[in-house]
């Protein structure tokens, strides 16, 4: 069978031979493509500038870079502006040429100036980074934090036990959230901020936190009146106060557009570099934002340090930049915890030079993983332990740093670090599976003492614990602070741990009488005196280091004893102080005193 394809697809068949051949079809000639219409040079330049300015504003509006040579964001901002201008001018200016080589030459000519700007900016950034390397400037980093030697018993006042902060941040936030849930007019529209800030408010340690709009729709419904309240959590009584504001907070992180806190600060202070913004209230209860202003002291980008703060009224929007020396007393947090810890690590690591930090590490120290705050002299001091860089579990001392003035003091005190103290406290109540909070450092009769709350799984405080810093196996617990302190004082007395001043968890009871019996025991290397008065069965215990006259007492001497706490029962009652009010006549040698059999170190513990 012979198939005839005809002229299908350009194929043709020879009628004689029957073979097929293919002839390409003829294509119609297209008209030449018209060249793309381009703008004139002046118009292209104007439009390129407009596009670049629009990009610069949008980028600045959302990214908020500081226009400061010490900010790396500035260099990125400038480079992006140059790139946008180049792309815009190349596209809008059009291309005239017949080859890629010609196009490249034209592009180089148009991008010459922005290219040189980019190279200059990159060169400045690289050189600025190099001259700030720790390899060359280690001692400059170490000098960022000036540290004085302090005396703990003198510098740190003994806090009244009815002013001990009992809440950490997480527990305070739980209480604040529950309190908001009780307010029907607020709970449906607002939510508690995740972070709270410890301040001194009317000489009380409190945490303050603000409210955020629940979502964008709730912001739209309420932004005209602002956020109507903030919360004050008393860290002692655990009460939560809802502070209502007549005109509402109008500048906060949950606002939008130009009332957004960070955007408002940036547009009002475009050249300042901010590291953190804290929420505080002054003594009149007015809410403020305290924005920490930083600078770089080593090279262009190294050695971050605080130089001042911007105080922004959260209601009116009025603001003012103040140097460190001008910041008012009611402000508690300017130097951030992260900045302080970083600067001490520089000091501890590089005070012997860069190479010493790598080889030998003589005298190299660092802060521990945990820190807390101490309220004193109407300021908030950051506390953290200091340990060696070798990673052992003990502290060689601790530092206190004033967060308003950045005054720093170091206290040598070998003892347990915070983690070990927390484990020791949890071990004392291991049957309850409580978790200890980050320790708070207290001066208890001249003894550095860790105080911490013990919380259950729901973040509620159930018990309290006190751990001696130098002897972290000395742990006392109680269901309330008074009981915990009472147990701790009794424990110290039984161990013969000296205390510089009387510690009275409540009003100390005074006992007077004639000495009927004296006994002594050596406990943990210290002498403990056991005094029984005439007409009584109990023994009053006091360390010879606290009352040296106790070792020269004789039966019949008249004494006045101040107890360390009220309500003590049992054979042993710890005493805080002892005063000899009268001497008995000596008819002969004092009778030999025998040690009390039940007061061996094992029995005392």
Model pLDDT for residues 380-408, shown as the tens digit of each residue: 999 999 998 876 667 888 999 999 999 99
**Contact residues for 48 (Cβ-Cβ < 8 A; gap 6+):** 85, 88, 89, 92, 93
What does the alpha-carbon distance between residue 269 and residue 505 come to, in Å, rounded to a whole number?
A: 50
Whether residue 301 contacts residue 70, with contact meaning beta carbons closer than 8 Å, is answered with yes
* Residues 329, 217 share a domain: yes
Last residue of a domain, one of 278, 310, 334: 334
* Residue 244 lies inside a defined structural domain of this protein: yes
What does the alpha-carbon distance between residue 213 and residue 222 come to, in Å, rounded to a whole number?
A: 8
* Residues 289, 206 share a domain: yes
pLDDT in the model for residue 3: 52
Indicate the pLDDT class of residue 597, thresholds 50, 70 and 90.
very low
pLDDT in the model for residue 471: 84
CATH assignment of the domain containing 528: 2.40.50
Structure-token pair, residue 383? 């506390």
* Residues 553, 470 share a domain: no
pLDDT in the model for residue 406: 95
The average pLDDT across 570-582 equals 80
* Residue 57 lies inside a defined structural domain of this protein: yes
The average pLDDT across 293-311 equals 96
Indicate the pLDDT class of residue 546, thresholds 50, 70 and 90.
confident
What does the alpha-carbon distance between residue 253 and residue 211 come to, in Å, rounded to a whole number?
A: 10
Beta-bridged to residue 562, according to DSSP, are 510, 577
Closest CA to 235 of 451, 416, 404, 505: 451
* Residue 33 lies inside a defined structural domain of this protein: no
In the predicted structure, residue 114 carries a pLDDT above the cut 50: yes
The average pLDDT across 321-342 equals 95
Structure-token pair, residue 448? 């550095």
DSSP-derived pairing of the beta strands 572-582 and 539-543: parallel
* Residues 519, 491 share a domain: no
What does the alpha-carbon distance between residue 172 and residue 53 come to, in Å, rounded to a whole number?
A: 47
Last residue of a domain, one of 334, 367, 390: 334
In the predicted structure, residue 497 carries a pLDDT above the cut 80: no
DSSP-derived pairing of the beta strands 147-149 and 20-22: unpaired
* Residues 530, 580 share a domain: yes
Residue 27 is classified by DSSP as P
What does the alpha-carbon distance between residue 578 and residue 550 come to, in Å, rounded to a whole number?
A: 8
Altogether, the residues listed in the chain come to a count of: 605
In the predicted structure, residue 14 carries a pLDDT above the cut 80: no
* Residues 116, 178 share a domain: no
In the predicted structure, residue 603 carries a pLDDT above the cut 80: no
Query: Residue 531 belongs to what domain range?
Result: 510-604
* Residue 454 lies inside a defined structural domain of this protein: yes
* Residues 526, 482 share a domain: no
Q: What is the pTM of this model?
A: 0.74
* Residue 345 lies inside a defined structural domain of this protein: no
* Residue 81 lies inside a defined structural domain of this protein: yes
* Residues 585, 443 share a domain: no
SS3 call for 582: strand
3-state DSSP helix/strand/coil % of the chain, to nearest 5: 30, 35, 35
* Residue 113 lies inside a defined structural domain of this protein: yes
Give the number of domains in the chain: 4
Last residue of a domain, one of 471, 495, 519: 495
- 502 HSE (CA, 13 A, CB side): 19
Instruction: Identify the burial level of 166 via C-beta atoms within 10 angstroms of its C-beta, where 0-12 means exposed, 13-18 middle and 19 or more buried.
Output: buried
């Amino acid at each position: 069978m012979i198939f005839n394809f005809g002229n299908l697809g350009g194929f043709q068949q020879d009628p004689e031979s029957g073979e097929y051949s293919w002839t390409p079809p003829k294509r119609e000639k297209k008209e030449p493509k018209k060249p793309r219409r381009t703008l004139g040079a002046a118009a292209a330049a104007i439009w390129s500038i407009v596009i670049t300015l629009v990009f610069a504003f949008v980028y600045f509006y959302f990214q908020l870079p500081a226009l400061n040579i010490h900010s790396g964001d500035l260099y990125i901002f400038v480079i992006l502006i140059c790139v946008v201008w180049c792309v815009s001018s190349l596209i809008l200016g059009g291309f005239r040429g017949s080859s890629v080589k010609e196009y490249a030459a034209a592009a180089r000519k148009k991008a010459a100036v922005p290219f040189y700007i980019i190279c200059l900016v990159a060169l400045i950034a690289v050189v600025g980074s190099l001259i700030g390397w720790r390899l060359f400037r280690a001692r400059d980093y170490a000098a960022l934090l000036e540290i004085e030697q302090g005396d703990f018993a003198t510098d740190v006042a003994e806090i009244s036990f009815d002013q001990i902060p009992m809440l950490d941040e997480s527990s305070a936030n739980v209480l604040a959230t529950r309190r908001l849930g009780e307010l029907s007019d607020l709970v449906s529209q607002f939510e508690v901020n995740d972070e709270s800030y410890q301040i001194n408010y009317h000489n009380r340690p409190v945490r303050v936190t603000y409210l955020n709009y629940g979502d964008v729709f709730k912001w739209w419904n309420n932004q005209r009146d602002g956020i109507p309240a903030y919360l004050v959590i008393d860290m002692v009584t655990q009460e939560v106060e809802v502070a209502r504001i007549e005109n509402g907070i109008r500048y906060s992180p949950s606002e939008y557009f130009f009332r957004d806190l960070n955007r408002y600060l940036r547009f009002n202070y475009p050249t300042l570099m901010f590291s953190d913004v804290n929420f505080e209230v002054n003594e009149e209860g007015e809410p403020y934002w305290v924005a920490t202003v930083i600078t770089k002291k080593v090279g262009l980008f190294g050695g971050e340090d605080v130089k001042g703060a911007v105080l922004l009224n959260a209601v009116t929007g009025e603001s003012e930049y103040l140097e460190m020396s001008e910041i008012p007393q009611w402000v508690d947090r300017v130097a951030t915890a992260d900045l302080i810890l970083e600067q001490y690590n520089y000091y501890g690591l590089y005070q012997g030079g860069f190479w010493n930090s790598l080889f030998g590490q003589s005298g190299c120290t660092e802060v521990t993983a945990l820190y807390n705050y101490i309220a004193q002299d109407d300021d908030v001091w950051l506390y953290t332990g200091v340990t060696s860089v070798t990673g052992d579990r003990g502290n060689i001392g601790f530092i206190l740093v004033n967060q308003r003035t950045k005054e720093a003091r170091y206290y040598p005190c070998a003892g347990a670090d915070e983690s070990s103290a927390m484990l020791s406290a949890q071990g004392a109540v291991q049957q309850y599976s409580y978790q200890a909070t980050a320790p708070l450092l207290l001066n208890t009769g001249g003894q550095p003492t860790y105080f911490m709350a013990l919380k259950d799984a729901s973040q509620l405080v159930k018990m309290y614990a006190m751990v001696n810093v130098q002897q972290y196996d000395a742990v006392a617990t109680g269901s309330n602070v008074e009981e915990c302190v009472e147990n701790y004082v009794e424990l110290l007395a039984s161990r013969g741990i000296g205390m510089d001043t009387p510690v009275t968890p409540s009003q100390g009871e005074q006992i007077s009488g004639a000495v009927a019996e004296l006994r002594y025991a050596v406990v943990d290397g210290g002498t403990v005196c056991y005094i029984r008065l005439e007409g009584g069965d109990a023994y009053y215990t006091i360390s010879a280091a606290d009352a040296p006259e106790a070792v020269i007492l004789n039966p019949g001497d008249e004494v006045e004893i101040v107890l360390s706490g009220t309500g003590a029962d049992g054979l042993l009652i710890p005493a805080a102080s002892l005063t000899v009010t009268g001497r008995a006549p000596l008819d002969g040698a004092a009778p030999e005193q025998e040690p009390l059999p039940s007061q061996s170190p094992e029995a005392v513990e």
